[in-house]
Amino acid sequence: MAIEGEELAKACMKAAGEMQAENIRVWDMRGVSNLTDFMIVCSGSSMPHLRAIIREVAGIVEKEAGAKPVNSEGKVDSRWVVLDYIDVMVHVMHEEMREFYGLEQLWADAKEPEWSQSGSDQGDGARRKSNFTH
């Protein structure tokens, strides 16, 4: 059985961290938006890095949590892809796109769960610059 909600958000965050995604942020959207329960945004530094993050988040979450995205929006070439798990939406963005669109400001009313800031559920690369080769 697939996991949902907070546990799914944790699994997505951990998978992104394992691929050295940069600046992983999670927002609890419950009570703020009807779109989803959790929004996750992470960055990649190059097209190969973005591809790796997207592939591994989808693969690891399916393998370890039994969940598949119901939809995927965008293409790596656009430098912004959204994996939609209904309860959780994962935005994988090139760092330049992320700076340009400023999603963090859109969700200023949402809280970041304490568990998302601890780093304990993330891979080693989650909150630092990536060493991923371009």
The pLDDT tens digits of the residues spanning 39-95 come to 999 999 999 999 999 999 999 999 988 999 999 999 888 999 999 999 999 999 999
With a cut of 60, say whether residue 128 has pLDDT above it. Answer: no
Strands (E), the chain: 22-28, 38-44, 71-73, 80-84, 88-94
Asked whether 119 and 9 are in contact (CB, 8 A), the reply is no
With a cut of 90, say whether residue 127 has pLDDT above it. Answer: no
- pTM comes to 0.85
The structural domains of the chain, with segments of one domain joined by +, span: 5-113
With a cut of 70, say whether residue 126 has pLDDT above it. Answer: no
Confidence at residue 4, expressed as pLDDT on a 0 to 100 scale? 84
Specify whether the backbone of 55 is left (phi greater than 0), alpha (psi in -120 to 50) or beta: alpha
* CATH numeric code, 5-113: 3.30.460.10
The CA distances from residue 101 to 38, 80, 93, in Å, are 19, 10, 10
For range 19-45, the mean pLDDT: 96
